[in-house]
Structure 1
Amino acid sequence: MKGTGGADSATAATAATAAAAPSQSFNLGLFFFAYYAHAGTFATYASLFFAARGMSAAQIGILMSLIQVMRIFGPNLWGWVADHTRRRVLVLRLTAMGALVSFGGIFLGQSFGHFFAAMVLLNLFTSAQGPLSDAVMLSSLRGDLANFGRVRLWGSAGFVAAVMAAAYGLEWYGVDALPWIAGLMLLFVVLASLRLREAPPAAAGEAAAPLWSVLRQPAVLAFFASTALMVSAHTSLYVFYSLYLEREGYGKPVIGAMWSLGVLAEIVFFYFQGALFRRFGVRRVLMVSFGVALLRFAVVGAGGHSLALLVFAQLLHAFTFAAHHSASVVTMQRWFAGPLQARGQALYMSVAYGVGGTLGGLLMTLCWERAGPDSIFVAAAVLSLAGGVVAALSLRWQDRADQTRLAAVSSS
């Protein structure tokens, strides 16, 4: 009977954790909804606000690029603080409060220099919130892929709901209402962060390797390179998709509907991803996402005249963004679990969206100006193919490292 006591205790602890999971999942979903509602609204309409305040096209381009540039620095700074202190939720709350205070610079700004400083400070804080919340979610759900997707989809839902609601608000009250709308959403982010709880500590004995020793592994370097290539390909959409559709003769209602369709497709994937990962495996889903991206960008570039083809291509967003993002986050747990989790998510954001997004935006701008609108989707297809090749190398090097470790264990 003594031998069953530990098992009963473990079972009770597991049951308690499972019982606590729904409330924490609700809190995380609420945070994702608020965070992506703000991020989507501000990123979508900030250029219109800056133009109304007298900024030139070049100045607007610089100001908007700071969203990507600060993703190179902010996530790594706050990820280090979060992992070093083991207080990820506390750091998440502090960055939310810092972002809300910093947003006052957008209200008061009139000159380019003022807006530049405000955007640097604001995005220093907001760029950390995505990877930190992902780290909290991964720690809380402990590998539950079904709940992972069903929590994360609330971010996509917040994005769609807020962007559509803000469109009506700006139509009624003018673009000068944007700081009030986005600022209110930031307040909701702060309130949502106050509901989060620190995840239970990792099991005893989970020692983390030094960060530098992890980053030196060829498989890790190749993995991050593949994510940067995938995000670089998607800048063809993030930066130029609306303009491309407008040049093809589509009106703003159609353009808005196409964006919403893509986000709805990712919501569907997030909801069902647990079953898909169990059936096909994370690796296979990851590699399929690159192949689908190659198809998607080829269809957009060649089929801009056909609404049916464009609708088909937007539905593929479920794989090129949602599947790739979830598979990448899960894959990183191989190297960045436990004490390295926040820094792993921060590196993913910095390399993929910071470096990859910035360089991809520059490349797509060059292609658009030198070779015409269709060329950016050719470039995106090539980048997707390159990303798939590099991802395959990463998987091969992972297998080789596993074989080497097994051989070393067997020989000892």
Structure 2
Amino acid sequence: MPAQAISFALFLCAYYAHAGTFSTYATLFFAGKGMSVGQIGVLMSMIQVLRIVGPNVWGYVADHSERRVWVLRMTGVAALTAFSGFFFGQTFVQFLLAMVLLNLFTSAQGPLCEALMLSEMRGDLTYYGRIRLWGSIGFIASVMAAAYALDAFGIMALPWIAGGLLVCVVLASLRLKEVKRLEHKTAPPPLWTLLRRREVIAFFCSTALMVSAHTALYTFYSLYLERHGYSKAFIGTMWSLGVTAEVLLFYFQAPLFRRWGARRLMYAALGVGVLRFALIGAAPQQVALLAGAQLLHAATFALHHSASVTTLQRWFSGPLQARGQALFISLSYGIGGSLGGLFLAQCWQRLGPQSVYYVASMMVAGAAVAAGLSFRWQREDGPR
């Protein structure tokens, strides 16, 4: 078990509690402030757009300064300052500015923490899932508690709840200590050389498509359920059900990876993703099917995320570790998520809410094709 396992767990718990609570209910908050569906789509896409910039900027600073913990603390304080805009904003432009500033700083924190964890684990990912699951636990507890608080006090209480959780992120960062990077006998290949490899390009295309599909959840799922007459408590329950399944997968994943490997589990996650999004689109009034689709989050998020991180270590480790995690977030969640969110917003407006989930299902099918090419080319090209 890593020496800082408890500290990592506390940070991830606070970080994903804030990120999950804000992203789950922000669409309802913006709707309550009079924003249109199109405007909400743009505002929520800033979560993904700033993942193109933030992780790479702060990952570069962290790698070159070798002060990753200091960067985590600094971005936490800056994010808390930026969050004050949600207490005073009233117009689309004001909220857009607040979203840009907030996500410029928070988008870097997850990959930086994971880079620290991977450095301390020295390539042994046995305990990765059992530490990472605390982020999911924070998500569940916070989303459920916030659901009841928002039903009692109204959606305008969201900034107070999410702001308080952001304070917890800053406090948790104070427990973390710097980890010395694993030194390699030979210098790693230049970053741009890695990014030009066809198997790396196909890998990032696959993860970008998978994350694009998940913007159907991150951006529209709460609004989708509300439009079908469900309460905030029900919405929170559905989110928590999915993340509970995610927690269980993270906890028990080590033997799965030892037996089946990242490639087979990646294929399994993608196959389940095609089914999951199609179910959500086909059965918005069927509670049992909605619940079943949420349980599949164990595969489409947790299994896919761990398989992606494991695959990523083939190319990005040592001095490239923080930037490798940053690129994963930027290319997959940043570019993939932002383009997916904007495209699916157009589907919602022109074709109706259910079309969002059918299109998401097709995106996952595309991700499976790209993953197949990446793994085939990895075998053909061999280690480099």
Q: In the alignment, what sits opposite 1:191?
A: 171
Matching residue within 120, 140, 149 for 1:140: 120
Q: In the alignment, what sits opposite 1:106?
A: 86
Matching residue within 234, 243, 247 for 1:267: 247
**Alpha-carbon deviations, 1:81-116, whole Å to 9, x = none?**
111112222211111111122222333434443333
Q: In the alignment, what sits opposite 2:217?
A: 237
Identity %: 61
Q: In the alignment, what sits opposite 2:107?
A: 127
* 3-state SS of 1:281 partner: helix
1:146·1:272 contact (CA, 8 Å) conserved in 2? no
Matching residue within 325, 331, 339 for 2:305: 325
Q: CA deviation at 1:262?
A: 0.6
Q: Which runs of 5+ in 1 are unaligned?
A: 1-17, 406-412
Question: CA 1:186–1:384 in 2, change beyond 3 Å: closer, same or farther?
Answer: same
The amino acid across from 2:292 in the alignment is F
Question: CA 1:27–1:61 in 2, change beyond 3 Å: closer, same or farther?
Answer: same
Q: CA deviation at 1:127?
A: 0.7
Distance in 1 (CA, whole Å) between partners of 2:282 and 2:114 is 36
1:206·1:338 contact (CA, 8 Å) conserved in 2? no
The amino acid across from 1:67 in the alignment is I
The answer to whether residue 203 in structure 2 is matched with residue 223 in structure 1 is yes
2:143·2:240 contact (CA, 8 Å) conserved in 1? no
Q: In the alignment, what sits opposite 1:9?
A: none
Distance in 2 (CA, whole Å) between partners of 1:149 and 1:338 is 20
TM-score when normalising by structure 2: 0.93
Where does 1:10-409 land on structure 2 (aligned, <5 Å)? 21=2, 23-53=3-33, 55=35, 57-248=37-228, 250-402=230-382
2:147·2:232 contact (CA, 8 Å) conserved in 1? no
Greater shift in the superposed pair: 304-313 or 272-281: 304-313
1:83·1:339 contact (CA, 8 Å) conserved in 2? yes
1:102·1:121 contact (CA, 8 Å) conserved in 2? yes
Greater shift in the superposed pair: 159-168 or 42-51: 42-51
**Alpha-carbon deviations, 1:314-366, whole Å to 9, x = none?**
21110111000111011111111011111111111111111111111222223
* 3-state SS of 1:143 partner: coil
Question: CA 1:241–1:104 in 2, change beyond 3 Å: closer, same or farther?
Answer: closer
* 3-state SS of 1:323 partner: helix
Q: CA deviation at 1:58?
A: 4.5
1:145·1:273 contact (CA, 8 Å) conserved in 2? no
1:75·1:350 contact (CA, 8 Å) conserved in 2? yes
Distance in 2 (CA, whole Å) between partners of 1:354 and 1:168 is 31
Distance in 1 (CA, whole Å) between partners of 2:145 and 2:241 is 16
Q: Which runs of 5+ in 2 are unaligned?
A: none
Distance in 2 (CA, whole Å) between partners of 1:382 and 1:246 is 24
Residues paired across the two proteins, number: 384
2:23·2:218 contact (CA, 8 Å) conserved in 1? no
* 3-state SS of 2:126 partner: helix
Distance in 2 (CA, whole Å) between partners of 1:110 and 1:235 is 25
Question: CA 1:46–1:369 in 2, change beyond 3 Å: closer, same or farther?
Answer: closer
2:24·2:222 contact (CA, 8 Å) conserved in 1? no
Greater shift in the superposed pair: 220-229 or 82-91: 82-91
Distance in 2 (CA, whole Å) between partners of 1:271 and 1:198 is 26
1:37·1:160 contact (CA, 8 Å) conserved in 2? yes
Question: CA 1:179–1:301 in 2, change beyond 3 Å: closer, same or farther?
Answer: closer
Distance in 1 (CA, whole Å) between partners of 2:322 and 2:174 is 19
Greater shift in the superposed pair: 323-332 or 371-380: 371-380
Distance in 2 (CA, whole Å) between partners of 1:86 and 1:110 is 40
Q: In the alignment, what sits opposite 1:7?
A: none
Distance in 1 (CA, whole Å) between partners of 2:165 and 2:224 is 30
* RMSD, matched Cα: 2.1
Distance in 1 (CA, whole Å) between partners of 2:42 and 2:280 is 27
TM-score when normalising by structure 1: 0.87
Question: CA 1:166–1:308 in 2, change beyond 3 Å: closer, same or farther?
Answer: closer
2:143·2:239 contact (CA, 8 Å) conserved in 1? no
